[in-house]
Amino acid sequence: MAALVRKKVDAPFFNSNCINPSLLLEKGLLSLDGENSKKEHLQKLVALPASAEYKTAFNRWFDLTGDDSRFQQAAFTVKNRLLIGMNGNAGLETGCCLSRNYGMPYIPGSSVKGVVRNWANSNLNAFSDDIEELLGTDDSEQPSRISGTVTFHDAWWIPKDGGKPFVLDVVTTHHQAYYNGSQDEPSDTDSPIPNHLLAVQGSFLFVLEGEPEAVQTCQRMLEEALKHGGIGAKTAAGYGYMRPNLLLASNLQRESDQRLPAEVKEKRKAEAQRKFEQQKQDEAKAELEKSPSDIVNELSLHYKTQRDSQDYQKKIEAWIDSAIENWQLEDRHLLASCLEGAGYIPSKKKKNHPIRKARLNQLKGVK
């Protein structure tokens, strides 16, 4: 291979402890001579930690995406190892998906979205229309294609104290001469040829963006996809499987809270409260818009198990008010009969007996 680094910067470049791994893997690659030269070159990469600049950039990204009214963050830890972007380097015959600015591994958002879609197509085929709304049209050649409502951002490798992202791996090739056509038959005497690879270890921060309900649905699908299908290359051999790391996510959130200015915290808190109140109003409105038959069926199924809930009782009173104002008398009688049969009116010894009885009479139109 042709040397891509000038001789004058050769020594300081390769002896530096803060070199960008992306340069070392690609543009800074010197000609490699000798049987173990590739392995030695990759070992230099494996020894490199995350730079201070990357840690600052990661913290900035975490803080920017911490608004849970727009984003959903999740930390996942690689169970074994991860191979991502293996075909990205022809010179070493092994690659890794690295950010150009910081040289740290990342998982492209397109790959994250791809594993979610693949899992959804395999396990939720009956909900194809809903999946298309969330993820967009699968076939980009369709004239009526649409984009999804959820954005899948690149997953960042999470820098931890003393942690290093890279690990040296090896795949052993057998019967190379047979497979490249220079030998008629494979033989047990053929020597295996080890091929060293650059794999990734540690944890990643996944970020989804969109409406909270849609994002939460995609987040659950992502968790299932990473736990049961993995991501990246060689998943059949156990690579790329991940599990949620709630403790790490909690620690990252605590550190972010300490960094954020007070005014940002207050603004996010106020926005979250506004969203919550709006959601409650929308839910209450949806309850009142239910048909009489739907409300009667729900009461028949759930009243006895939820009768002690104050929130449920408030919902029933809202239904009664809406029925008195908007329903036909026949439907009002049906609701009153359902409530009476379910035990809406307590025994005469209870203080609210006359109140509940009066409410049902009002519902029936009895004066």
Give the C-alpha separation, 235 to 83, whole Å: 9
Question: The tokens of 172 are what?
Answer: 């052993």
Tokens 């220079």 correspond to: 182
Distances (CA, A) of 174 to 195, 197, 266, 331: 11, 16, 62, 77
Q: Which sign, positive or negative, has the C-alpha torsion 102, 103, 105, 107?
A: positive
Question: The tokens of 245 are what?
Answer: 């790391």
pTM over 0.95: no
| pLDDT profile of the chain (367 residues), mean per 10 | 54 67 73 69 85 94 91 96 77 78 94 95 88 82 75 96 86 65 67 79 97 94 96 92 96 92 85 83 86 90 88 90 91 91 83 86 85
Give the C-alpha separation, 107 to 155, whole Å: 5
Query: How much is the pLDDT for 227?
Result: 96
CA 185 to chain centre: 48
Q: Which sign, positive or negative, has the C-alpha torsion 141, 145, 147, 148?
A: negative
Closest CA to 242 of 115, 124, 122: 115
Query: How much is the pLDDT for 282?
Result: 86
Distances (CA, A) of 339 to 137, 246, 329: 47, 44, 15
3-state secondary structure the chain: CCCCCCHHHHHHHHCCCCCCHHHHHCCCCCCCCCCCHHHHHHHHHHCCCCCHHHHHHHHHHHHHCCCCCCEEEEEEEECCCECCCHHHCCCCCCCCCECCCCCCEEECHHHHHHHHHHHHHHHCHHHHHHHHHHHECCCCCCCCCCECCCEECCEEECCCCCCCCEEEEEEEECCHHHHCCCCCCCCCCCCCEEEEEEEECCEEEEEEECCHHHHHHHHHHHHHHHHHCCCCCCHHHCCCCEEECHHHHHHHHHHHHHHCCHHHHHHHHHHHHHHHHHHHHHHHHHHHCCCHHHHHHHHHHHHHHHCCCHHHHHHHHHHHHHHHHHCCHHHHHHHHHHHHHHCCCCCCCCCCHHHHHHHHHHHHCCC
Give the C-alpha separation, 155 to 74, whole Å: 10
Query: CB of 79 within 8 A of CB of 226?
Result: no
Closest CA to 292 of 325, 345, 328, 317: 328
Residue type, 307: R
Query: How much is the pLDDT for 195?
Result: 76
Question: The tokens of 71 are what?
Answer: 């984003």
Distances (CA, A) of 299 to 293, 307, 340, 342: 10, 10, 11, 8
Name the residue ranges covered by the structural domains of the chain.
49-179+189-263, 290-364
CB atoms within 10 A of CB 91: 15
